[in-house]
Each structure stands twice: as structure tokens, then as C-alpha cells.
Amino acid sequence: MKTLLLLLLMVTVTPSGHPVRALESSEVIKATPILNVQQTWIGQPISYPVGEAELSGVVIEMAPGGETGWHQHPVPSVGYVMEGELEVHFKDGEIKHLKAGEAAAEAINVLHNGVNNGDTPVKLVIFYIGRVGSQLTIPENTE
């Protein structure tokens, strides 16, 4: 896993230390960065799970008034809102907002609840950076 991460770092950083884009914009291609962070959106350092890596992705559609229920993620994940606006509530009372076109590195091992308080559905895609056999989401009170 560490070798893979070093290779990815070498591929994505030039000798001067500046990151390179995965794809350069041109007349026929528009490449817009959506996320480049070293911490989750609540300030936690991102660390990769030990073991055989497994990347997973899921599209979530939430009706107006819908909630995910309180849950946490034991592995790093990135969420990108494709449609609508999502409120994410934390147990300490903090509320984060994500609207269409925005991305966030989700909190790790911190309970949160996604809420759609809008009049339209929310559609988002979540990518998880886990390990083979690991849980991606743990509902509250099932640890």
C-alpha cells in the first residue's frame, strides 16, 4: 500500500513539487479540479487503511426531507454532490453544507447525519478508500 501511494505521489507531483493535473484543459476538454486536500472537512488528517486496498463508489439519491440517519465511516471517503444541496449534521451541533458541484473529504469515525432540507432530490456520489473486507459505513449504535 505504501509503495502504491509513493508511486501515485511521484506521478502527480513534478520535480519542482507542483501538482500536475490529471488531464490538461484544451479547446475540447475542460478539466476542473474539485478537491485537493490533506485533511477531512473537519480537520482530521487523512490516513489510508492498512491491508489490501479496495476502492468503492456509490451513487446516493435522497428525496426531499430524507436523511441518511446517524452513521460514521471508518475509512477515508470523498463525497461529490451532483444535484441538490445536502446538510451534514454533527453531534457537536456543527452543520456543513454541500451543494451541486461541491466535494468534501468526509469525516472519519465521527457520527454525522446527511439531511435534504430542500424541495428537490439530492444526488451524490461517494468514493471510499478502504481495504478488502472492511465496512464502509457503520450506523450509530452498531459498533
Question: What is the pLDDT at residue 3?
Answer: 37
> Is the pLDDT at 1 greater than 50, yes or no?
no
Question: What is the pLDDT at residue 89?
Answer: 98
Within a domain: residue 99? Answer: yes
Within a domain: residue 67? Answer: yes
Residue 9 to residues 4, 54, 58, 64, 75, Cα–Cα distance (Å) = 9, 18, 25, 40, 20
The range of the structural domain enclosing residue 59 comes to: 34-139
Residue range 17-36, pLDDT digits in tens: 445 556 788 888 998 899 99
Residue range 66-116, pLDDT digits in tens: 999 999 999 999 999 999 999 999 999 999 999 999 999 999 999 999 999
CATH number for position 124: 2.60.120.10
Question: What is the pLDDT at residue 141?
Answer: 86
Within a domain: residue 86? Answer: yes
Q: How many domains does the chain have?
A: 1
Question: What is the pLDDT at residue 25?
Answer: 83
Distance CA 49, CA 5 (A): 12
- E strand or H helix at 111: none
Within a domain: residue 24? Answer: no
Whether the CB-CB separation of 125 and 59 falls below 8 Å is answered with: yes
Query: 43: pLDDT confidence band, cut at 50, 70 and 90?
Result: very high
Within a domain: residue 42? Answer: yes
Within a domain: residue 23? Answer: no
Mean pLDDT, the chain, whole residue set: 87
